[in-house]
Structure 1
Amino acid sequence: MSFLKNMFGSNEEKQSVSKVGWRQLTDLGQLNEIIDLSTEKPVLIFKHSTRCSISRMVLKQFENEFDLQDKVIPYYLDLLEFRNVSNEIASRFGVTHQSPQIILVKDGKAVYNASHESIDICKLVQFV
C-alpha cells in the first residue's frame, strides 16, 4: 500500500503542502456561498479526479505556478467523492463537465473555464 501511496500520493498530503490555500468544496450549499463571495472577489473552482494521473499532474503543475493568493478565493472539489456537487456546478454555471477543470466565477457567473492541458495560470490571470 505504501508503494501506491508514494506513487499516487494522498489528498491530505497535497492539501497540507499546497500554497494555494484550498477550501474544500463538499456540499451543494457551498455553491450559494461561492456565488455570494464572487460578488466581492473572483472564486476559482478546481475540479479534480483523484484517480486520474492526468488530473493529478495538472493539479500539481497548477499549484506550483499559482500566485493568485490575494486575487481569488480557491475551492477544490474531489469530483469522485462529491459527484453531485460537480453535476450541480455544470448545471448552475453552464459549463460542460470536465476533469481536471478550473472554473472562475465572478458576480455569480462563470466567466472562464478550462480543462486538461488548457489549464494555465497565465490565461486565468486575464479573467481575474
Structure 2
Amino acid sequence: MAQWKEITTNEEWEQLFAATTEQPIVVYKHSTACSISFIAMQEYEAYLSKTPNPDIEYVLVKVIESRPVSNQITEDTGLRHVSPQMLYIKNKEVVWDASHWNINEKRMTAALN
C-alpha cells in the first residue's frame, strides 16, 4: 500500500515543489476540524490502499497545524485555498485539483492513474 508523507515545514514543501520536474506529487490539504475533510481523508486512504500511481509522491498538509505551509502552497500554485483540497502537481504546475465532495476514490483513480 502506498502511503502519504506529512509535510510540516516550508523547506519540505520547497524541496517537493522543486522536485515536481522529476516526480509529480499529490498534495492533500486536510483540516482536522472539518467533517468533510475527514470523509475526504478516508477516500484518499482508500485510493492509496488499492493501486495508486507508483510514479507519484503523495503528501498531506494539515492546514490548521501547518498553516505557513498551506499558505505557501496557495502562493506557489496560484490556486485559492479551500479545504479539503487535493492538488496534482507536475513540473511546478497544478494539472488537476479537487475539493470537498469531489475528492473521492473514483475521481482520484481517473485523474491520477
Alignment TM-score, normalising by the size of structure 2: 0.85
- How many aligned positions are there? 110
Please state whether the residue corresponding to 1:38 is helix, strand or coil: helix
Deviations 1:16-67 (A, max 9, x none): xxx4411111011122211232112210100000111111011112211333
SS in structure 1 of the partner of residue 21 of structure 2? coil
Question: Given the alignment of the two structures, is residue 96 of structure 1 paired with residue 96 of structure 2, yes or no?
Answer: no
Counterpart pick for 2:58 among 60, 68, 74: 74
* Aligned counterpart for 1:65 among listed residues 47, 57, 77: 47
* Residue correspondence of structure 1 range 19-58 to structure 2 within 5 A: 19-58=1-40
Match in the other structure for 1:116: 100
State the AA in 1 paired with 2:3.
Answer: G
Tell me, in whole angstroms, the C-alpha distance in 2 between the residues paired with 1:78 and 1:64. Answer: 19
User: Does structure 2 retain, via aligned residues, the 8 Å contact 1:23–1:74?
Assistant: yes
Decide which structure has the larger Cα Rg and report it.
1
- TM, length-normalised to structure 1: 0.76
Which ranges in structure 2 are unaligned for 5 or more consecutive residues?
A: none
Write the letter of the residue equivalent to 2:30.
H
Aligned-residue Cα RMSD (Å) equals 1.7
Q: Which runs of 5+ in 1 are unaligned?
A: 1-18
